[in-house]
Structure 1
C-alpha cells in the first residue's frame, strides 16, 4: 500500500479531488492529513493548521469545515496561536455530529512551554457553523501516540494540568463541558521513556503503558472499570515481552489487539492464545492511525438523517 503522509494514496487522492481550490493551495506544500476520529460512518481528518475535513467513504461525500470563529488578537504583540486539541463525536441529545477545537495562545517572549491562555469552539454539523463556548479547558493537551479517543459520548486527549500532573482531558459532546480524568496513581509518571496509549476495550477506557524504545517490549493494560473514577483503575493484563512491535493501535475484538510492527507493518495479537500474526498491511513506520469503521449512508452535509446500513470493519490509515 503506497502511503502519502499518513494516508493511503487512493484515499488521499480521492480527498484532494473533492477539496475546493483554496484548500488545495493550502495543502500544496504539505500533503499530510491526520485522522481525528470516526463516528457512525463519518471520518474526521485535519492537518491541524488550515482545515478540517469530514468525509464518508461509503457515499464518497466530503466537506471542508468553515474557518474558526475564534479571535486572533492582532492588537496583542508577540502573541502566537496554535490549535492544540481537536476532537470529533456525536451529541445524542441533539442528534448532531460535532467537532471541538482548542486553540492555545503563547506570548513569544514569555519563555514558558505552557500556553498563556486557551479558547475553545464547537462546530455543529446541523448548523454548519462554529460557536465559541464559555468554558476553559482545565488542562493543556499534549501529544502522545495513539491516545486521542472518542468514548462514552466524549473525546479524550493526553494532557497536563497547571501543576504538571499528567491527566486525561475529556470533552462531552452533549453538555459541551471539559472534565479531567486522573491517571492511575500506581504507574510511573513523568518518565519520558514510557509511552501511554488510550484505547477502548470491553466498553471501558484502557490505558496501555509501554517503553518507547527496546528490542523487546511489554505492554501493561490498565482499565477504568467505572468511568471517571480514579480508584477504579485496575491493572488487568500484561502483554509480552514481544519483539518487532512498536505500539498498540486498537482492540478489534475482546480477545484481539492490532499493533504496529517496528517496520511499519500491522500485526495482530491474540490475548487468549498469545499468538502474533503479521497482517498484509504496510505503511510508514509510526504513521498508523486505526479505527473500527462502521459503514453507513449518513451524509456529511446533513448528518441528522438515519443510518441506512452498518457494517463493522477495521480501517487503517
Structure 2
C-alpha cells in the first residue's frame, strides 16, 4: 500500500457520516469555508442539507463572532462601499465586500441581515418598485428572488419590505406590504416569501394596521418582529412625522402596534428606529429636537418588547449640527452617528466625547447593520 493510500484510509471521510457531521458541526463557519476550499475533491458533506441544518442549529447555541457591516457612498458619488468592521471600540475594517450583482434599477437598499444572509431591495432612488435579493458573502452565494404575482403595479402606491429569521423552524422570510393608491382608506395586502420553498404567498385576511408614507421605510427586527415607523391613519404627506410603531410577527404572520414612549416630548421633528447591541435584542428609538443652542437626539430603549411602560430614555446626543438619524446604539451610552460633513463617529454619552472612526462618505447614504457568518444559501 502506498503512502497516499494509507493517508486516504486514515481520512476523516472513512468515519460514519453521522460522526463526521458531529465533528464538523462544532467548527466555526470560517473554518468550514476554509476546509471546503482545500478539500474540493472530498465528498460534498458540508453542502449536504442535513449538515447545513445541523451546523446552523449549532451556531445558534454558540454563534460566530458578530461584525458590523457599514454601507456608505463616497463623496464623489462614484463608489458604493460595503465595509465589514470588527466589533471593537474603533470598528476597524476587516474586509471590503463586493456584491456579485449590478442593480437593474440603479439602487440597492439594505433590507436586513440575519444569520449570515443579507437582504437587498433593488430599486431606484425615487421608487419602491423592484425585487428582492439575498446574498451570503461568507460563501459567495447570491440569489435573486422571483417577483410575486399577486399585484397589479398600476394599482400600487408603494412597497414596504422586511426580512428576518424564524427560530422555530429555521426559516428565512421576507415580508412585503403592498399599499394601494387609495388616499382615504388604508388598502394594502401582505405577501411573505420563504427561502425553503422559494415562493411568495399572500396572507389572506391580514392587512397592515398602519399607514406608511410613500418612500423607503427602514426597519429594525427585534424578538422576531419586523418593526417600522408608521401612522395610525392614512397619510400621503411624506413631510409628516410618524407617530406609532408597526410590528410584524414573522413566525405567526400577524401585526401588532407599539406606542411611542408616554413621556416623550412631542416637539420632535424626526423619529427613527435604531438597532441596539450586537444582537439587536432590544428596540431603540431616537427623537430629534432643534433647540436654541443646537440639535439633539433623545435616545430611548424598550426594556421588554411591546410593553410601552418599559420605554426608558437612556442618553442624549447633542451637537450644534446633528440632524442625521443615528445608525445604531452599541449600548445605553454609545451611539454610532454620522456628522453633517459625512464623518462616521462613535458618541460616548458618559464621556461626552465623539470618536472619529476615520470614515467619510455622503452624509445621508450611510447604513449600518450586524453581520454573522453562516452557511445559509450553500445549497443554492
Structure 2 Cα separation of the partners of residues 80 and 212 of structure 1: 39
What corresponds to 2:43 in structure 1?
none
Q: CA RMSD in A?
A: 3.0
After superposition, the C-alpha distances for 1:164-217 in whole angstroms (9 at most, x for unaligned) are 77210011111011111111233344x6x6111112336321111113799832
Q: Secondary structure at the match of 2:113?
A: strand
What corresponds to 2:200 in structure 1?
130
More strand by share: 1
2:175 corresponds to 1:95: no
The answer on whether the counterparts of 2:329 and 2:335 sit within 8 Å (CA) in structure 1 is yes
The answer on whether the counterparts of 1:5 and 1:31 sit within 8 Å (CA) in structure 2 is no
Q: Residues 229, 92 of structure 1: CA spacing in aligned structure 2 closer, same or farther, 3 A cutoff?
A: same
After superposition, the C-alpha distances for 1:230-271 in whole angstroms (9 at most, x for unaligned) are 222222322224546633101235542211111222111123
Larger mean Cα displacement after TM superposition, 119-128 or 146-155:
146-155
After superposition, the C-alpha distances for 1:46-105 in whole angstroms (9 at most, x for unaligned) are 0232211110111121111111131328xxxxx630333100000112210000000011
Q: Residues 118, 251 of structure 1: CA spacing in aligned structure 2 closer, same or farther, 3 A cutoff?
A: same
What corresponds to 1:70 in structure 2?
150
Q: 1:52 aligns with which of 132, 136, 142?
A: 132
What corresponds to 1:168 in structure 2?
245
How many correspondences in the alignment?
279
The answer on whether the counterparts of 1:142 and 1:158 sit within 8 Å (CA) in structure 2 is no
TM-score by length of 2: 0.65
What corresponds to 2:221 in structure 1?
150
What corresponds to 1:19 in structure 2?
none
Larger mean Cα displacement after TM superposition, 269-278 or 39-48:
269-278
Q: 2:158 aligns with which of 83, 86, 91?
A: 83
2:81 corresponds to 1:8: yes
2:115 corresponds to 1:37: no
What corresponds to 1:310 in structure 2?
none
Structure 2: tracts of 5 or more residues without a match: 1-71, 83-95, 236-241
More helix by share: 2
Larger Cα-atom Rg? 2
Q: 1:180 aligns with which of 257, 268, 272?
A: 257
Structure 2 Cα separation of the partners of residues 199 and 231 of structure 1: 19
Structure 1 Cα separation of the partners of residues 150 and 106 of structure 2: 25
The answer on whether the counterparts of 1:123 and 1:130 sit within 8 Å (CA) in structure 2 is yes
Q: Secondary structure at the match of 1:206?
A: strand
Runs of 4+ in 1 over 4 A off after TM superposition: 1-6, 9-13, 143-147, 212-215, 242-245
Structure 2 Cα separation of the partners of residues 5 and 91 of structure 1: 37
The answer on whether the counterparts of 1:146 and 1:198 sit within 8 Å (CA) in structure 2 is no
Structure 2 Cα separation of the partners of residues 151 and 128 of structure 1: 24
Structure 2 Cα separation of the partners of residues 261 and 146 of structure 1: 21
Q: Secondary structure at the match of 1:278?
A: strand
How far apart are residue 41 of structure 1 and its match? 1.3
Q: Residues 137, 252 of structure 1: CA spacing in aligned structure 2 closer, same or farther, 3 A cutoff?
A: same
Structure 2 Cα separation of the partners of residues 234 and 177 of structure 1: 26
Larger mean Cα displacement after TM superposition, 195-204 or 240-249:
240-249
TM-score by length of 1: 0.77
